[in-house]
Amino acid sequence: MEKLKLKKSDIGLIGLGTMGSMLALNIAEKGFRISVFNRTTATTKNFSKTAGKLLDNITPCETLNELVATIKTPRAIILMVPAGSAVDEQIASLRPLLNTEDTIIDAGNADFNQTNRRASEAIDTGTSFLGLGVSGGETGARHGPSIMSGGSKECWDRVSHLFEAIAAKYNGQPCAKWMGEKGAGHFVKTVHNGIEYADMQMIAEIYGVMRDGMQLDPKECSRIFAGWNNGQLKSYLIEITSEVLAAKDIETDKPILDLIVDRAGQKGTGRWTAIEAQHLGAPIPVIEAAVAARNLSADLETRKNGELVFGPAAKILPEGSLDLDNLEAALIAGKILCYAQGFALLSSANLAFGWSLPLPEIAKVWREGCIIRSSMLNDMASALAKTPNKNLMFAPYFVNILKSKSNAFRKVVTTSLAYGLPIPALASALTYFDLMRTSRSTANMIQAQRDYFGAHSFERHDKLGAHHGPWGN
């Protein structure tokens, strides 16, 4: 590998996996010089071979010392390594080589609690730390991701010009924003991924109704989703769903979807969203249902046994029981309620952690580059700008949509359940919708039970204070 280049780099990057290598190329393409390092030297060499003309802006390094020496001061170094202990190990190896003005930037997925800890440790050691949520997958990393930063505002201001340059653009505006101190950026990214889980699950459920209930083939399903992508459902996930459905296996010429094992993987970010929502007492049932559905999908053998024992759940729908407009309406309503829950969770985090997460700006950052980008986010940004602490389902624009779609939404859920078509996320969304418009719920029974067995007391409609029932001793 060639000796150190005379001209120093604007930034460094450690970890040349899929996301790291694409991000490095994006940075180089935007005219910034970047030094790169990977623990496995062969990976660095292979990356260099494929960089083409962009290698002129890239300095491959074989050691951390070399990496640090090739970067302008104050240095900024991006970590793109797996979440967990690998991040801590890399920070521990890197920190002795840095000055107090230098900044370590964790741009991988991370539990925001760990980011909070790392940010505090950085302060204690006199160095700087940013937790950077990056969304967009491989393509986004290469050509423009959505970026959610957390940590010192001063540190972000030092590097924001670079990240704004490489970020996706919406009408010329960069989809990159400082969200708040410490783990705020990674928390926002976690909620983004929770919404992503739910959005994907609801789309998959509608595909299941089409496939098993309506007996539609992948080609026809593809055509339907492509049409929906020209309307209110216009989004990245609807777009790629159409493309996935249309794709054929090169070897067999069969629809590729029919050959894929129905076992969904996950990296834990959806689970983190559900866990934090429970800690905050913020209801996100659609996201929780999506996480549970992925967990259930992993238990393939049990599901196969269940079908043998009880018979298959799914039945073919009677002709005319559901139409495509019904399905589209259900997805629109479910999507609104899912995003509403996600933003409500962000609002709860503001109260619990003393943050000022900029909810309208978050909606804007998600308009391009990220996996959940959707035409709806413009309207969500506008609604949140007017009433940032109000649940999105009560914003006038979305009230009108939900009112117009609710009957079709209910028809899809009830009909699907009646014919054994599993729709856990959509059913959870409908239940949430109903609970949120029930002024007198059945929680009075729960309070009575709690008081009966634990003397926890209850409130009364007709009297102030804490009270106990006549069952007490």
Q: Where are the domains of the chain?
A: 11-182, 190-435
C-alpha–C-alpha distance, residues 59 and 62, integer Å:
10
pLDDT surpassing 50 at residue 178? yes
Q: Is residue 288 annotated as part of the catalytic site, yes or no?
A: no
Residue 264 has pLDDT above 90, yes or no: no
- Six-digit token pair at 424? 């856990």
- CA–CA dist 149, 105 (Å, integer): 9
Mean pLDDT of 152-163: 94
Query: In this predicted model, what pLDDT tens digit does every residue of 4-54 receive, in sequence order?
Result: 456 899 999 999 999 999 999 999 999 999 999 998 999 999 999 999 999
- In tens, the pLDDT along 42-59 reads 999 999 999 999 999 999
Shortest CA distance to 394 belongs to which of 407, 406, 383, 405?
383
Q: Residue 371: is its pLDDT beyond 60? A: yes
Given a cut of 70, whether residue 164 has pLDDT beyond it is yes
Residue 384, pLDDT score? 95
Percent of the chain with pLDDT over 70: 98
More confident residue, 125 or 374: 374
**Band of the pLDDT at 101, cuts 50, 70, 90?**
confident
Q: Judge whether 131 and 118 are in contact, CB under 8 Å.
A: yes
Percent pLDDT > 90 in the chain is 90
Tell whether the model's pLDDT for residue 155 goes beyond 50.
Answer: yes
Using only C-alpha atoms, what is the Rg of the chain? 25
- Model confidence, pTM: 0.93
- In this predicted structure, what is the pLDDT of residue 388? 85
Mean local confidence (pLDDT), 165-184: 96
Confirm whether 304 is a catalytic residue: no
Report pLDDT for 6: 64
Catalytic position from the list 177, 182, 189, 364: 189
Question: Any bridge partners for residue 173, and if so which?
Answer: 170
Q: Read off φ and ψ for residue 438, nearest 5 degrees.
A: -115, 105
pLDDT, residue 238, reads 98
- The CATH H-level superfamily of 11-182 is NAD(P)-binding Rossmann-like Domain (3.40.50.720)
Does the pLDDT of residue 3 top 70, yes or no? no
- 225-262: per-residue pLDDT in tens? 999 999 999 999 999 999 999 999 999 999 999 999 99
Give the pLDDT confidence score for residue 197 in this predicted structure: 95
Q: Is the pLDDT of residue 157 over 60?
A: yes
One-letter amino acid of 146: S
Q: Which of 181, 196, 205, 276 is catalytic?
A: 196
Helix/strand/coil percentages in the chain, nearest 5 = 60, 10, 30
User: Which tokens in the block code for residue 120?
Assistant: 């505090």
Tell me which of 193-207, 263-277, 347-361 is least confident: 263-277
d(CA 153, CA 133): 15
- Tell me how far apart the alpha carbons of residues 275 and 288 are, in angstroms, rounded to a whole number: 9
Say if strands 169-170 and 173-174 run parallel, antiparallel, or are unpaired: antiparallel
Place of tokens 């950077």: 132
Mean pLDDT score of the chain, rounded to an integer? 94
Which homologous superfamily is 190-435 in?
N-(1-d-carboxylethyl)-l-norvaline Dehydrogenase; domain 2 (1.10.1040.10)
- 354: amino acid identity, one letter: G
